[in-house]
Amino acid sequence: MERKRSEKKSEIEQTAVAIVSSPIGGIRITATGRGIRRIEIAIRGGGAGKSLEGEGKAAFWLTQAVKEIKAYFTKKSFRSFTVPIDFGDAVTSFARRALEAAGRIPFGETRSYKEVAASAGNPRAARAVGGAMSRNPVALIIPCHRVVASDASLGGFTGGLHLKRTLLDHEAKK
């Protein structure tokens, strides 16, 4: 019994990392045995989509995320991301609810910070939603770029407003 626990724990602690080339630059993906832990978009020196390291369940989730991100950019049968997310203890409970609400925004659509706050259980927490989006550890998978101001202006975006507009334009094209 003790051995099974330690084997399971070691698989959860495993990590796998890949860099995927995309129209917006390199995307670094980090996975654990529980799911995707981090997505960094538009990184410099994006490489040619090479896998850097990984094994076990982490490598499985990484492979799944790479496929889904490639499908996102080609729009080939892409509907939404299905790979699990490993938030660890990186977000508060409200931030997690806000991020999960943003994750439910359909491809090609937007929601206001206020609408996301309401979906997360606190309609008066639009500013807190903005904070949660600014700290989103898995951009693209949780599409924080789809969250906009109530007047439909872009609001903010960690990757810059140009990148937010590029992603929204990509999704709007049929």
> What are 47-54's contacts with CB under 8 Å, separation 24+?
47/19, 47/21, 48/21, 49/18, 49/19, 49/20, 49/21, 50/18, 50/19, 51/16, 51/17, 51/18, 52/17, 52/18, 52/19, 53/15, 53/16, 53/17, 54/14, 54/15, 54/16, 54/17, 54/18
Active site residue 144: yes
Closest listed residue to residue 73, CA positions, set 32, 19, 25, 105:
25
Paired residues of 31 in beta bridges: 16, 36
Residue corresponding to tokens 């810059």: 160
Q: ∠ at Cα 157 (34, 66), nearest 5°?
A: 35
Residue 9: what are its φ and ψ, rounded to 5°? -60, -45
Q: Catalytic one among 117, 144, 167, 168?
A: 144
Known catalytic residues?
144
